[in-house]
Amino acid sequence: MSTSGEEAERSFDPARAYRRSRRVALRPEPFGALAYHFGTHKLSFLKTPQLVAVVTSLEQHPDVYAAMEQAGVDQTQRPAYLRALADLAEAGTIEPRLEESGDS
């Protein structure tokens, strides 16, 4: 990942495009999913099925707001979801999508 990507990672900006990290695997669980980062060896928990839907669909949306909209996250819940997503960005579970980067 480029230096600008690492900087963006530190400051979560829901107006930008994100994706689930390529090094993160999700394991479905009754509460949502367990996320494992193969690079950092860190486990994180996606505590609702809706959060799982947001994380897995980030890639298809121009920004985080659109992913929450499509996943049907209730307006009142959105601040909590943004906090959870900021934590996931800090843990590297999700990362900014750099449109110019051609990695797959």
Partner 1 sequence: MKLTEHFQYGLTSPICLTWELTYACNLACVHCLSSSGRRDPRELSTEECKHVVDELRRMQVFYVNIGGGEPTVRPDFWELLDYSVDHNVGVKFSTNGVKLDLCRARRLARTDYVDVQISLDGATESVNDAVRGPGSYATALRALANLAEAGFHRPKISVVMTRHNVGQLDEFAALAAKFGAQLRITRLRPSGRGADVWDELRPTACQQRELYDWLVARGEEVLTGDSFFHLSAYGSPLPGLNLCGAGRVVCLIDPVGDVYACPFAIHEDFLAGNVRSVGGFEAVWRDSELFARLRRPRTGGACRPCGYYSSCQGGCMAAKFFTGLPLDGPDPECVRGFGEQALAARSPDAVIPRSEVDHSRRGPVPVALASPRRRQERR
Binding site for partner 1 (CB under 8 A): 25, 27-31, 34, 36, 38, 41, 43, 45, 47
The minimum distance between CB 65 and partner 1, in angstroms, equals 26
Q: Which of 21, 11, 16 is nearest to 90 (CA)?
A: 11
Nearer to partner 1, 43 or 72 (CB): 43
Q: Are 45 and 27 in contact (CB under 8 A)?
A: no
The minimum distance between CB 70 and partner 1, in angstroms, equals 25
The minimum distance between CB 93 and partner 1, in angstroms, equals 13
Give residues with Cβ within 8 angstroms of 59, minimum separation 6: 19, 20, 97
